[in-house]
Structure 1
């Protein structure tokens, strides 16, 4: 079907993720980490933005990527998002081994802004983007808040947008209700495949 709606795809993906056993989430998260390092020049980046996982939603465990970068002492620096009090926008703060974290209202860990440096969107070489589904043009389905589309629109023209999917479903042909404000991905990593758009 080439006109799946975001709502339909979101429901199916959430159900698919909920059905994954914890050990499968761990296996796929490790595979995603391997895909990123195999297919992208992580060590050449200056700044990488990544989301911190909401474990109860079976999101990809990005801590595997974070800890590998720290263990290998790569030069790339990391930043993670902080939802702002307006409830619709993000700011981005450096993530180091010593960064203090606090859970936001959704249970997502965030850097504590007063203890960290804010990084502007234009500084990022790459952004790892959470998603539930993606189509063949790189348009993604998220949770529906629009946080990432607003953020990605602020990034520089050379910034790579790389989706991470814990599901191995191939991209659908087309999301039927893409908005003009939706920002497409350049690639999507899955445990079993890498898709480029």
Structure 2
């Protein structure tokens, strides 16, 4: 199984950007019409049966941890302002299955409203020494993204698109090109 099959595209922002034919697991959450019980369905692919999960960080985290048990190394991509991505990151850190995290820069005013929460999650990733990157131009990233066995952004994107993903934390000795 190639490394690319361990990509998890988490949430609405990642789903809106990723191409339909992009290899990897598309993880989405759909709220149910029953507002009282605060449940919805969590799906890991269109062919999987959706799991019924409460829309709380803890319930989502438990669902992700259960799924991550069968994966040795997972690469996450998503918007950390989305609860689904936060839960996936926390599950990956606690289960030690994260190989790296690619954060899509939040869209619009949401980026200003959730700075404290975002920095807390990034600090968690830094403490766990998970290589973490920020993608400010997601369209450019997906245009240049192709399957290969490289571990980190520089090799994955090539020389022309090196500036698309900005290094945040997690790798000793990496120099950010700012």
TM range (shorter): 0.3 to 0.5
More helix by share: 2
Pick 1 or 2: higher relative contact order, CA cutoff 8 A, min separation 6: 1
